[in-house]
Chains A and B, each alone.
Chain A
Amino acid sequence: MVAAIPEQILKMKVVVKLFGGIKSEKDFPRNEEKDLIVETEKPLTIYELIDFLSLNKKPFIVVLNGVILTNLSIQIKDGDEISLFPPIAGG
């Protein structure tokens, strides 16, 4: 007998924040801050999520729940916040 897949893996909702002129070509629902609310029915890696978003430019810096990622093959979880930035600097 195959074990049932837990509900939270079947469907998950994450918030995607786009900065520095990055835009999605898809029409996602948005929160009050105009961030994308992305629902997916299967677990995605950050790579896959970025691909799924159909962005106008490739993100260079990816922040997951406040932490800068160096590995984009990790899987997102329900409730995650992902912030995407192009190459930027200042000071």
Chain B
Amino acid sequence: MKILRINMSEDAPAVKFEDLGQYEGLGGRAITSAIISKEVDPLCHPLSADNKLVIACGLLGGSAAAMSGRTSVGCKSPLTGGIKEANSGGQAGQVLGRLGIAAIVLEGKPKGDDTYKIYINKNGVKVEKDNSLKMLPNYDLIEKMKKEFGEKIACISIGPAGEMKMSGASVALTDMELRPTRHAGRGGVGAVMGSKGVKVIVLDDTETSPRQPKNVEAFKEANKKFVAGLQKHPVTGQGLPAYGTNVLTNIINEVGAYPTYNFKEGRFAGARKISGEVEAELEKQRGGNPTHGCHRGCVIRCSGIYHDKDGHYLTKQPEYETVWALGGNCGVDDIDKIAMMDFLCDNYGVDTIEMGATIAVAMEAGLLKWGDADAAINLLHEVGKGTHLGRIIGNGAAFTGKAFGVERVPVVKGQALPAYDPRAIQGIGVTYATSPMGADHTAGYSIALNVLKTGGFVDPLKPEGQVDLSRNLQIATAFVDSTGMCLFIAFALLDQPETNQALLDMLNAFYGWNMTDKDVVEYGKKVLKFERDFNIRAGFTKEHDRLPRFFYKEPISPHNTVFQVKDEELDQLFNW
């Protein structure tokens, strides 16, 4: 495996393949965070030539391992000012691995405002100016790429939001149907790609083969056990395939942790109308599909395909976080309009969580009424067009809150909180506060133990035990994100020691390692240390590891609780 460096500062961008060298043994989030931490000036402007955008497959990317197709996108974040790894499904991770590329590093910055496309296949790399691609929405762009390069490609692209360098801009990855539906959404990674002048990277793995393990038989055996473990577990084998991630709407609402009206209440009266159960039923009725993988090799298949009322494709199955952000958080209970907003976010290339949180802040400011889905749709169009208002919204909740003088702005390190209220689920509040990524639910998904009773149970309403819980999950997640595995395997790993062992056996057979659980912990800590260290050098202090103060002062219904984990306890998270 090689690192592919493309320096965009040159008139004819310089392309260089390098051995992994000091990055040997690192994949996914580990390699993106290591490169950013070691090579990027933490004080640089995120949109400057000094920042780098790293796109990496995981340790098992491009192999025959099930679930191993995730892609990590890393940089210094224009949204948080700290390090960022945004993780996505889609086809690119597997294709990168098959092309023998551990990471693409986009460096420098073009002098002019030309737009570039990059084509990579087994024979090499072609970087070309193509100004006809300027400001194309993601779906139109991919149609154009299909005409030019055929249908056996995977694309990594930005929409207009990335070109306009908005802090809410995402990087889109195409799915199995070659649609730009999977996104490295968080932290404005799309703006950094835009600052490099790169509109799209087209990957073509024609005439390549899967990466081969060192011990073929042991790898095959471990993969078989791993898949059997995922199929046996009720969550990964039944719950997620049947209803997708949006099955969470009802339970998070029932336990009073569903942030509603910009985190003012813990329950939404319209929750059932936008739940995963309703979504799955509509998909069946309209000829969509409620059980669909986001990349080849996925055996959980938690995604789906959403059709409109006339039975035409509208978007992929909107995820729980998206439905909450653009739905309940804004008082919107119309699932078709939420699906339309999901499509617009994908097409313009913006993070659905950040946009939902931002629209709710705009509603709080009185720009539009609570529950007015049509006005929210118009606001997303403004983002896509880049009007002055659209540029404010496209820069996220913190920016919009400042622009309109709003006090209740639910962000940590400038990044919007996702779909679980930290007053009703205290463990996730610890993760939001302390993750080097800013408020990020995936960084240490306490919901698994605080609500879903996977891997045990820690009372969500009490502060006790939450720091230990979040720490352990953040360490484990940093490792899983480095393997290229989908994080949803964790539900089976937490409950089934043999499935956890199968994952280790797979890695050991692939690389000839002897990794144990103890090594997993050390690996995860190493990744977090890269990230934490970068943030400290970028000027972050313990005071940045806090929730906004309203979470400590305003009780949320129905439990009438505030966030109770003390600051000094939060400061112990990285004290291992």
Contacts and interface: CB of A to CB of B under 8 A. Distances in A.
A91 B442 contact: yes
A89 B494 CA distance: 13
A8 to B, nearest CB: 23
Given A88-B239, A89-B240, A91-B248, A63 B255 contact: yes
Contact of B234 (A67, A70, A86, A90): A86
A90 B277 contact: no
Contact of B460 (A68, A86, A88): A68
A10 B448 CA distance: 39
A91 B250 contact: no
B317 to A, nearest CB: 11
Chain A interface SS verdict (over half): loop
A87 interface: yes
A63 B424 CA distance: 14
Given A60-B453, A66-B558, A87 B239 contact: yes
Contact of B453 (A19, A61, A67): A61
B244, B254, B445, B454 — most chain A CB neighbours (10 Å): B254
A91 B238 contact: no
Contacts of A29: none
A63 B267 CA distance: 14
Contact of B559 (A19, A60, A66): A66
A60 B457 CA distance: 13
B254 A89 contact: no
A66 B256 contact: yes
A61 B246 CA distance: 17
A60 to B, nearest CB: 7
Contacts of B447: 89, 91
Given A89-B454, A90-B240, A91-B447, A19 B250 contact: yes
B141 interface: no
Nearest to A91: B445
Interface residues of B, number: 42
B120 interface: no
Contacts of B453: 60-61, 68
Given A87-B235, A89-B248, A20 B243 contact: yes
Nearest to B461: A67
Interface in B319-337: 319-321
Contact of B320 (A19, A20, A87, A90): A90
A21 interface: yes
Interface of B: 234-235, 238-240, 242-248, 250-251, 254-256, 272, 275-277, 302, 319-321, 441-442, 445, 447-448, 451-454, 457, 460-461, 487-488, 491, 558-559
23 contacts: A19-B247, A19-B251, A20-B250, A33-B272, A60-B234, A61-B451, A66-B255, A66-B256, A66-B558, A66-B559, A68-B255, A86-B238, A87-B235, A88-B247, A89-B235, A89-B239, A89-B240, A89-B488, A89-B491, A90-B276, A91-B245, A91-B442, A91-B447
Nearest 9 CB-CB pairs, A to B? A90-B245, A87-B234, A90-B248, A88-B239, A83-B254, A89-B235, A66-B256, A19-B250, A90-B320
